[in-house]
């Protein structure tokens, strides 16, 4: 995707100034310093090391969008409550739940932003504190399915609740950091408790999927996502999963 982050200026000096302006810094050293602080460097992924330009651009696009969202000062208890409300939103259509999810997050001090995946940056989401009282949850809509969206949202929410305000937390496949594992477990359990996994894995029909989803109070697409992950049957019941564009 061509996001036109800079003009088509060919003169290198002017192009450099455009890039520095985009990142909100006055020098190349200052730009490097954004990503070389101990807290950030300790959480950088292999992708960040090999594709630092696209990676940092994706995060910066999220920051610029998040700064425009008015948020109440962060309230941990209110955000915990918002997560329970968020779970109930999964049954709604994306055009409805996205706006409501942004609103309840902002009321608790969290700016929720969506920036489409950038080539060579295969991340699902990231979390960063913009101010001591304002956090950003950045989602990429990778794979564009509702089950992946909700899992990614709840994953990032754990970082907001439990990890340091100086950390940049990045969600990608194969993460082995204990904090990432904890976030994965929380996101999985809040959507469908582990105790229901055996039941999910034994689903035989779309009607059974819809019935179980109604009992759990979540979207059938989320049940399908869990079924596919448990069984490896990645094409089964796919038409029950809604896509986000």
- Is 80 exceeded by the pLDDT of residue 225? yes
Classify each residue of 92-114 as buried b or exposed e, where b means 16 or more C-beta atoms within 10 Å of its C-beta: eebeebbeebbebbbebbbbbbb
Q: Note the pLDDT tens digit of each residue in 135-157.
A: 999 998 888 899 999 999 999 99
Residue 48 is predicted with a pLDDT of: 54
Q: Mean pLDDT over all residues of the chain?
A: 84
Residue 25 is predicted with a pLDDT of: 57
- Is 50 exceeded by the pLDDT of residue 15? yes
As a whole number, mean pLDDT of residues 4-16 equals 58
Pairing of strands 169-172, 134-139: unpaired
Least trusted range by pLDDT, from 9-13, 170-174, 186-190, 232-236: 9-13
Residue 57 is predicted with a pLDDT of: 82
The residue ranges of DSSP E strands in the chain, in sequence order, are: 110-114, 123-131, 134-139, 169-172
Residue 153 is predicted with a pLDDT of: 96
Q: Note the pLDDT tens digit of each residue in 201-224.
A: 999 999 999 999 999 999 999 999
Q: Note the pLDDT tens digit of each residue in 36-65.
A: 554 444 455 555 555 566 777 888 889 999
Residue 213 is predicted with a pLDDT of: 98
Classify each residue of 5-15 as buried b or exposed e, where b means 16 or more C-beta atoms within 10 Å of its C-beta: eeeeeeeeeee
């Amino acid at each position: 995707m061509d996001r036109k982050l800079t003009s088509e200026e060919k003169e290198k000096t002017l192009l450099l100034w455009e890039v520095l302006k985009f990142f909100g810094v006055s020098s190349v050293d200052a730009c490097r310093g954004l990503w070389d602080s101990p807290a950030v460097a300790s959480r950088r992924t292999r992708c960040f090391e090999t594709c630092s330009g696209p990676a940092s651009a994706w995060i910066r696009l999220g920051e610029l969008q998040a700064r425009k969202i008015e948020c109440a000062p962060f309230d941990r208890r209110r955000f915990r409550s918002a997560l329970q409300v968020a779970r109930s939103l999964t049954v709604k259509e994306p055009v409805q739940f996205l706006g409501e999810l942004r609103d309840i997050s902002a009321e608790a001090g969290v700016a929720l932003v969506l920036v489409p995946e950038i080539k060579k940056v295969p991340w699902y989401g990231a979390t960063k504190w913009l101010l001591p009282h304002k956090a950003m949850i950045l989602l990429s809509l990778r794979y564009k399915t509702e089950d992946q969206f909700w899992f990614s949202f709840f994953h990032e929410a754990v970082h907001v609740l439990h990890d340091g305000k100086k950390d940049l937390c990045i969600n990608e496949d194969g993460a082995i950091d204990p904090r990432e594992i904890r976030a994965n477990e929380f996101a999985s359990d809040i959507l469908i408790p582990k105790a229901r996994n055996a039941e999910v894995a034994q689903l035989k029909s779309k009607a059974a999927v819809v019935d179980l989803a109604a009992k759990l109070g979540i979207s059938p697409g989320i049940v399908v996502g869990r079924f596919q992950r448990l069984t490896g049957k990645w094409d089964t019941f796919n038409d029950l999963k809604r896509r986000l564009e």
